[in-house]
Each structure stands twice: as structure tokens, then as C-alpha cells.
A = this chain, B = another copy of it.
Amino acid sequence: MGKRGVLIVVSGFSGSGKGTLMRELLNRYDNYALSISATTRGPRPGEEEGREYFFKTTEEFEKMIAKDELIEYARYVDNYYGTPRVYVEEQLAAGMDVILEIEIQGALKVKEKFPDTLLLFVTPPTAGELRRRLVGRGTETMDVIEYRMGRAREEAEGMDRYDYLIINDDLEECVEEMHKIIQGEHRRSFRNQAFIEHMKEELKGE
């Protein structure tokens, strides 16, 4: 036992349904922990400290950067967003598969620092379906929808840097498929060096 968890980064187009997908995954299986980001932006109505985000002052955040307490961070507009290291390390050591929901630049930074990171990219089956979902929400102006489609065009350039594509057509199937992929990853040889070394030693004695 004491098997280490897998560090997973999930990215995907806005409108890919990745939020719902991750909520379902966390509801159904107890081997996942969702990493909570730290940010310097103020809480929005309904957001709670330690649930949506850890809310920090700019000074606190910059101290975390200086002490290397963040796995990755980025500045959007005037605010910092980052992934605190301690929680992730603790959960992985406890055997939990830890999910970070971050964008491609952050994803690639994490992969560089931790090459064992599993990168998953969530996408609808077609670009037409992506637009339909964004329009279907009924909450966004056409400007926002066009902006998101533009972002999707940019993000698509990075899709092949991810390990797996999670094609979110049917939510039910997609949750199960994502779970299977992650569980399968536990059997990768490079994640089982201890088993391999132990088997070699044991065979010498047999």
C-alpha cells in the first residue's frame, strides 16, 4: 500500500463541460481530490475561503512565490492565480489522485516541474457543438461567445501537448471514460518502479 496518487491537470475549452464532468467525477469516486487555487482577486458573492479559492493579499501571494510555495502561478489582468504546493503534495502522498483545473500555460509548467503529471484535455465532439453549448447557456452576450470561440481557436493549438483527449459527447459515458483512463495510468511502468525493483530483487531470491 501507500501508493502515491497521480497528479492530473484538466484543461479544456470554455463550453466543453469540464466543470460538470469534474463535479461528477468527484461525486462518484472517493480517490480524487480537487486542488484549490490561491488568488488575489476578491471573493464573489457565494464564494467561500478554502472552497472556491484561498483568498490572499498581493503581499501574501508574492511571499508564497518567493518561498516556492506554489506549483505554478500566473497573472491575469491585475490578479494572481496559483496552485499551493502543500495541499497537492499531502494528497498525493496519501494516495489521492489530485486534479488541477488550469489552462495550457499552467499545465505545461506543471508537466515540466513534475514530468509524471497526466494532462487531460476536454473537448466537445465538434466545433459546432462547442458554439451550440455556449449559445445554449443563454447567459452570455454574443461578444463573450465570440471571445470564447477565439480563445478556443488559440487553445486548440496546444491540444496535442496533452496526454489524452476527453471527448465530452455524453456526460455519463465521459465521466466513466475519464475515470478509466486515470485508473489505467496507475499501471504505467514508470509509475511502478518500486514494484519492478522489488520483483527483480525477489526473483533473485527465488
A interface, CB within 8 angstroms of B: 121, 123, 126-128, 130-131, 149, 152-153, 156-157, 159-167, 177, 180-181, 183-185, 187-190, 192-193, 195-196, 199-200, 202-206
Contacts and interface: CB of A to CB of B under 8 A. Distances in A.
A162 B189 contact: yes
Given A149-B206, A160-B190, 7 more contacts: A127-B199, A127-B203, A159-B199, A165-B187, A165-B196, A177-B187, A180-B180
Contact of A126 (B131, B190, B202): B202
B149 A165 contact: no
A152 B196 CA distance: 12
A159 B189 contact: yes
B131 A206 contact: yes
Contacts of A180: 180, 183-184
B149 A166 contact: no
Closest 3 CB pairs of A and B: A127-B202, A181-B184, A184-B184
A187 B184 CA distance: 12
27 contacts: A126-B199, A126-B202, A127-B199, A127-B206, A128-B202, A130-B206, A131-B206, A149-B203, A153-B203, A153-B204, A156-B199, A159-B196, A159-B199, A159-B200, A160-B189, A163-B189, A164-B184, A164-B187, A164-B188, A165-B187, A165-B188, A165-B196, A166-B187, A177-B184, A177-B187, A180-B184, A184-B184
